[in-house]
Structure 1
Amino acid sequence: MGAEQQHMDSHKKMVIAVAVASTSLGAVILCVLCIWIYYTKYPSKSKGKNVQRSDAEKGLASSPFLSKFSSIKLVGKKGCVPIIDYKQIEKTTGNFEEINILGEGGFGCVYKAHLDDNLDVAVKKLHCENQYAEQEFENEVDLLSKIQHPNVISLLGCSSNDDTRIIVYELMHNGSLETQLHGPSHGSALTWHLRMKIALDTARGLKYLHEHCYPPVIHRDLKSSNVLLDTKFNAKLSDFGLAITNGSQNKNNLKLSGTLGYVAPEYLLDGKLTDKSDVYAFGVVLLELLLGKKPVEKLAPAQCQSIVTWVAAVAVLCVQPEPSYRPLIADVLHSLIPLVPVELGGTLKVSQLPQQV
C-alpha cells in the first residue's frame, strides 16, 4: 500500500514538474537560436568568399517574368502587379475544378493552373464577401509586390471578378511543410539535413522580413502550412494576408488572428504584437521539424494540449544535471502514452485529431 501511495505521489510530482519545466522551454529554445544565429552571422571565411546567386535565387520580377510568355493575356496592372485575364485563369484551372485544389484556407482555395506550356502556377481564389477577405487580398498583393527574396514566395500576378479575387504565385511542387510532415508520407522524404535546411531557409526569410524590409514586416501567421517547398526542398514563406508592417499605427487595434499552437502567449493574452511573435511561431515550427508532430493535438474530446510544449518539457526534466530532479521512467512513460496513437502502442485515437485549414 505504501509503495502504491509513493508511486501516486511521484506521478503527481511529475505532472507538476512538467508544468514548471514548460517555463524553462523558452530558455532552451533561446540558447539553440543564439548558437544558430552566431554561426549564421559569422560563418567561416572560406565559405563566405566568391558566393554568387543565380537569377532564381534573387527572386522573380513579376511583370517582366510573365511578359516572357506570349500565351498569357495581361489586361492591366494593379500598381506594379500584372493583372491576368480572369477568363484565362478560369479556363486554366478547369473552371476551378476540385481535382486542381492544392489547399484550402479561411477565405478560399488554392488551385494549380497551367498558364503556359512552360509555366504552372498556384492560384489563390478568395471570396471577398466581407471586409476582412478584401483587406487580406489588398494587403498580400501590396506587400508581396515590394518583396523579392529567395525564401519568400514570388507574386506573379492578380485578377478579379465581382466578389472574387485572384492571386497568382509561383508553384511550389513539393507542397507545404505541413503536408510533408503530417501527410501520407509522414516526413519520410525529409532527412535530418533537409529538415535543418528548411529551418534555415525559413529563418532567412523571416530575417529578411524583420531586418531588411523598410518598414519591417511581421508575418503574423507563420506555421508549417505556410512554409512551401520547391522541387529541391528550398523553403519559402507564403500567405501574407495577415502580415503587417512593424510600427503600423493601427497595430494595437488589430483583430486577434493566427493559428492555435503557433500564437505567442503575449499576443494571445494582451494583444502585444512584435517581431518576437514571429520568432515564437518559428520556434514551434522548428520543434515540429524535430518531433514530426503537430503543435496541437486533441488528447480528449473536450481537451486540447500543446504537444510540442509537453514533450519538450518532459525532455527538459529528463536531462536535468542534478539526478534527484529527474523523474522516474514510469512517470515519463505515463506522460508519453496519451501522445501516441493506439495502433502504435499509445492511447491517442486518430479520429480525435483536430482538422486544420
Structure 2
Amino acid sequence: MSTIHWTEGHTHRSARWHSENAAPLPQRIVVADDRTKAKDAYRQACEGTALLWQGDFHNARRLLRAMSRRIDRKPPRSTTSPSDAFHLHRRNSSHRARVLGKLLVLLDGDYTLALRRAPDVRQACREAYGPAKGPMAVSLRELLGVIGAHQWRVKGVEVPALGTRVHPHYGVFAPTRGEYVDLVAHAPLPPATRRSPATSTAFDLGTGTGVLAAVLARRGINRVVATDISPRALACARDNVRRLALTDRIEVSGPGLFPEGRADLIVCNPPWLPARPTSPIEQGVYDPDSTMLHSFLAGLPAHLRPGGEGWLILSDLAEHLGLRTRQQLLDTFQAARLRVADKIDVKPRHPRSKDVTDPLHTARSAETTSLWRLITTA
C-alpha cells in the first residue's frame, strides 16, 4: 500500500491508501465538509484533486449523488455499431469511477468511520479487507460497495434451484441471474453419472459462491471439486458449502482452474465478455482475451473421463456486441477436439434486459444464455 498526505490547518497528516480497483495514489488532497458545493467538488475531482470528507456521512452520500448527476448531464455520443457502443460505455464507466473515486473518507485504526451519523462499518471492512492495520483512506464509493456487500452476505441471495440462499462475499460475483443456475439444475446429466452414481465426480471451475457445485451435489453427484483462482471466492465457497451441509460431498480446491484427476462432468461458467475488468467484482463479467474460456476448452479433453461431458455456460451477449463471433467460438471447440452434443438455451430474466435506457439495450434484449454440452472427438 502507498501513503497519502494532506494538511489540516497547519498540521500535516498521512494514512495508508487503499483502492480495490487499483486507482492511482491521489497526488493532491483537500479537506471537504458540509460547506463544499457539488459543482466545486465535481470540478476539483475532474481536475484530479481528491476530497477528504470530514462532514456528515449522509451529506457525503448526497454529494456523491450530485456529482454523479453532473456526469450524467453530458449527452452520450452517437455510435455506429454495437461494439462502438460497448467501448464507449466502458470509457464512460471508467470516467465515472475515476471522478467519483476522488471523494475519500478516513477509516481509523480499527476501521471506525469517525463521521457524524456514520454507520458502524467495522465488520463490513474486516470482511472485505481483513484485519485492520492502522488508519486507511478509501473512496466513499468503494466503502459503500463494502457496506452493500456486507448486507448481501448477511441476507444472502435466494436460489430457487437449491430452495435456500447462498451468501456472497465481497468481491465475489453473486448469483442474481438465476437462469444460468437453472440451466445446470435441469440439463440431463451425462450417462456415466447415472450408471455409477456412487462413483460419479464433477468439477466446478470458477466456482465463485459455490452455487453450481451445490446444485450438482444436490442432483446426486457423489463428489464435486470446486475451484477458483480468487482467494476470496474460495473462502466464500467454503462458507456456503458449510452452510448447506455439503462438506462431505464438495471439496473446495485452489487457487487454480483444473484440479488433479478426471471427472464425468466438468462445468464452467466463465466471464462472458472479453474485456478488461476494472475492479474485483468485474472479474466475474469481464475476461481479457477470453483467457478463462480458452483455458477451460483447451484443458477439457485431458480431464474428462470416457463418456464424460463438459458443460460451458455462456451468454451470446459478446456476439451481439461484436466482441466475438459464433464462428470463433465454434472454431475454438474444434481446435480443442470438442464436439457439441447439445445446446440448451434460455432468455434472460434480469431487469436490465428490459431497460430501454440502458446504452446496451439492443444487445441485451437479444441475449441468450446457453449451456453447451461438449464431448471429446478423439
Same structural fold, with TM-score higher than 0.5 when normalized by the shorter chain: no
Which has more strand, going by share of residues? 2
TM-score scaled to structure 1, two decimals? Answer: 0.28
Which has more helix, going by share of residues? 1
RCO (CA 8 Å, sep 6+): is it higher in 1 or 2? 1
TM-score scaled to structure 2, two decimals? Answer: 0.27
